[in-house]
Structure 1
Amino acid sequence: MTDAAKTVPFPARRTLRSLADLTEAGLTTAEKAQQLQSVADRYAIAITPEMADLINPADPHDPIARQFVPDSAELTVSHTESADPIGDDVHEVVPGLIHRYPDRVLLKFVNVCAVYCRFCFRREMVGPQAGTKVIPDLDAALAYIRNRPEVWEVVVSGGDPLVAAPRRIAELIQALAAVPHVRIVRFHTRVPVVAPGRVTAELVASLEHPDIATWVAVHANHPAEFTGESRAAIARLAEAGIPLVSQTVLLASVNDDAETLAMLMRTFVENRIKPYYLHHGDLAPGTSHFRTTIAHGRSLMKALRGHVSGLCQPTYVLDIPGGHGKAPIGPSAVDDIREPRTVEDFRGQRHCYPPE
């Protein structure tokens, strides 16, 4: 944290949830707050004290502020953007349960988050306006899972499922563990990074069950998000034997340069988190200022290959609009067009490969 950030009179350790809060914290001005009212009326605001502490208000390009502080650009909606950019609605089998892939389902366990990212692909569906903290028909979701023997894994999302009380999480784990064909439950969360104090011994214990394997996918987009508190929270999960993987969204002016991306992936690995997905920005309303081109994303993946450890290589994926699922879109080192076939090394030199 910079000296400039240290001098900001943040309200005492509470989540900032309004433009008035942001103004009081020095993260915007009264004049800008008036201009942002239309954004706040449409999309929820929440910045935890841990994230607010990282923001340098004097830096107009601060990567943490860009992720969480509202921007008037969010009111610019292109014709390609959609309130349901990855097609959740197409595959919703009961309220809050998405069955898109044959062997797994996604359960929207809660409709709220600890923080609200300005680029969220479910930004029209999460937040206080969603009306309920837990999905309305969990019993129906569990009944569907029990009746589908092909379902091997349940991905628990939302919202952010780790904002739920440990008791509710434990009840969910117990219910899923009782289904013989469900062997994996995977939680997707920002909590260990943005609200590490929630990762208590009670929460960690709620994730564990002898009859089912729990995995946690930790979402972070910039190495600055890894504070001492967040590293300790992640360690509590890792030391409990819970496997950890990462999620990152490729974001313009946040992490869309090779140096930042390499540092982020190394930070994941140093904290016992295996890089898993680098998401191309979804076509959510008002998020075009965050999206890079696919060509730029591929160039970044190419820059990572060979220059950082193989442990640090995520899969670059695009969620195909309309509900068609994720597709890997990273660069290929193989030239299949010309003969003899060549393979490019990490230095950019090509080498012949014999005919198969």
Structure 2
Amino acid sequence: MLQTIEFNIQNKLLTREALDAYDPSAESWQKQFARRYTHHCELNDVLNNVENVDQTVYGKFAVSITPYVAQLMDRDDPMCPIRLQYMPTFAEETKPGFVTMLDQLGEEGDTVPGTSIVHRYPRRVLFLVSNACATLCRFCTRKRMVSQPTGSVHKDEIERSIDYIAANTQIQDVLLSGGDPLTFSDERLDYILGEIRRRAPHVRFLRMGSRMIVQLPTRITPELCAVLEKHRLQMVNTHINHPKEITPLLRERVKVLQKAGIMMGLQTVCLKGVNDDVDVMRELFLQAIEMGIRPYYVYSTDMVEGAHHFIVPYQRMLELYEGLRGWISGPAVPTFIVDGLGGLGKLPIIPIYVKEEELPDGSGTTVKCRNYAGKTVEMPGLGRDYALPTHSN
């Protein structure tokens, strides 16, 4: 055990000079994975103003940061949007009166016994294949299982999960998630995807969610893309919260993935202090669409333990949406949603642009509309019981 610890320390970049000189594209993703920082003290000579949290924070959720992500962090500013997402803080301590849940989305209630399949909707399933991630987000919605030994997805669970998909011919859509599926080797992914395609020809849409693309872009290799293309993985949803996460290396590796014929979507979490700003979101989504990644969802922060300080109020989310729609290209505007507690599902947050009102004389209704710039128009022809005017010859 002592030798292992020494090896890990020797392979970590423990000074700012070493980190700045490091080229992530110069070595394999596996070696970079081994260089991850797993304690804030390891960053004391890399970053200034590191908060000295105690072990109570680690007892609730571990720390894991790739050197690539650390390079994106501002050296001095603790409010850097990258640091806020990944560095542990005493702000994670339980807030009095704030209700947190281990499984706030009710996934365990919809999990098929003996499998890691969450079957909530009639024709699609969530397949949780891994409990590991390259870098741990402090607002993670699956803290109950991610990077926790007791939450590991065992090999036999994966086998039973594939059995379940194969036996249920109504399942048309399978989403691989976790954790992060790309923490698996190419060979393991080849097996899982291949078995789904071989044994479940009724699956019409096979997709994957991965933040590792952003946290360790060199995971995207020609060899990986060959596996994904071989098994017709049709879509990858990645997760970006701030324009600072979009780098030349990320853009380069996204192109490699797209050349394999894979659609890409973007999911974002609305985080206080990180991206709850109209200009930040406009820039994020425009850069995403420039890369050929379609903004898909903006989630409200889930009510998970240690994430209360990230929550953006509902009214502010409405304001952010209003600052996007009409101001940037339509395809770059995602759907803002709340993931309902207890498994209620994804519920859209949408400002009212069109509303129906009763006419003063009670004869029917009229429809009043407003656009993104606040201009309004009345359209009585869309109202109830509206009588179209007659034309005489």
TM-score, normalising length from structure 1?
Answer: 0.92
- For 1:126-146, what per-residue CA distance to the aligned partner results, in whole angstroms no more than 9, with x for missing partners? 114346465651111111111
Count of aligned pairs: 346
User: What SS does the corresponding residue of 2:310 show, helix, strand or coil?
Assistant: coil
Change in 2 beyond 3 A, CA 1:341/1:10: farther
Residue 355 of structure 1, CA deviation: 3.1
Match in the other structure for 1:85:
104
Residue 242 of structure 1, CA deviation: 0.4
Structure 1 residue 188 corresponds to structure 2 residue 214: no
Match in the other structure for 1:3:
none
Amino acid at match of 1:192: I
From the CA coordinates, give the structure whose radius of gyration is larger: 2
Change in 2 beyond 3 A, CA 1:81/1:304: same
User: 1:174 is matched with which residue: 177, 189, 194?
Assistant: 194
Structure 1 residue 71 corresponds to structure 2 residue 89: yes
Structure 1 residue 62 corresponds to structure 2 residue 80: yes
Deviates most, 109-118 or 133-142: 133-142
Match in the other structure for 1:150:
170
Amino acid at match of 2:107: D
8 Å contact from structure 2 (residues 66, 135) kept in 1:
yes
Structure 1 residue 52 corresponds to structure 2 residue 70: yes
CA distance in 1, matches of 2:42, 2:150: 21
- Note the aligned Cα RMSD (angstroms): 1.8
Residue 9 of structure 1, CA deviation: 3.9
Match in the other structure for 1:38:
56
Structure 1 residue 335 corresponds to structure 2 residue 326: no
Change in 2 beyond 3 A, CA 1:128/1:43: same
8 Å contact from structure 1 (residues 183, 213) kept in 2:
no
Residue 213 of structure 1, CA deviation: 4.5
Change in 2 beyond 3 A, CA 1:59/1:151: same
Structure 1 residue 21 corresponds to structure 2 residue 46: no
Change in 2 beyond 3 A, CA 1:237/1:158: same
Q: Between the two structures, name the one with larger relative contact order (CA 8 Å, sep ≥ 6).
A: 1
Residue 244 of structure 1, CA deviation: 0.4
- For 1:114-157, what per-residue CA distance to the aligned partner results, in whole angstroms no more than 9, with x for missing partners? 11000011112111434646565111111111121111011000
CA distance in 1, matches of 2:89, 2:158: 35
- For 1:282-340, what per-residue CA distance to the aligned partner results, in whole angstroms no more than 9, with x for missing partners? 11112111010111111111110110001111011111000121111222311234552
8 Å contact from structure 2 (residues 175, 208) kept in 1:
yes
CA distance in 1, matches of 2:377, 2:279: 27
User: 1:207 is matched with which residue: 228, 252, 255?
Assistant: 228
Amino acid at match of 2:366: P
Residue 8 of structure 1, CA deviation: 2.7
Percent of residue pairs bearing the same amino acid type: 33
Match in the other structure for 2:361:
none
Uncovered stretches (5+) of structure 2, i.e. residues with no partner:
1-14, 23-31, 359-364, 383-393
8 Å contact from structure 1 (residues 19, 40) kept in 2:
no
CA distance in 1, matches of 2:41, 2:62: 13
8 Å contact from structure 1 (residues 194, 230) kept in 2:
no
TM-score, normalising length from structure 2?
Answer: 0.84
Q: Following TM superposition, where does structure 1 have runs of at least 4 consecutive aligned residues deviating by more than 2 angstroms?
A: 7-14, 22-29, 77-80, 128-136, 336-340
CA distance in 1, matches of 2:94, 2:277: 25
Match in the other structure for 2:273:
253
Uncovered stretches (5+) of structure 1, i.e. residues with no partner:
1-6
Residue 60 of structure 1, CA deviation: 2.8
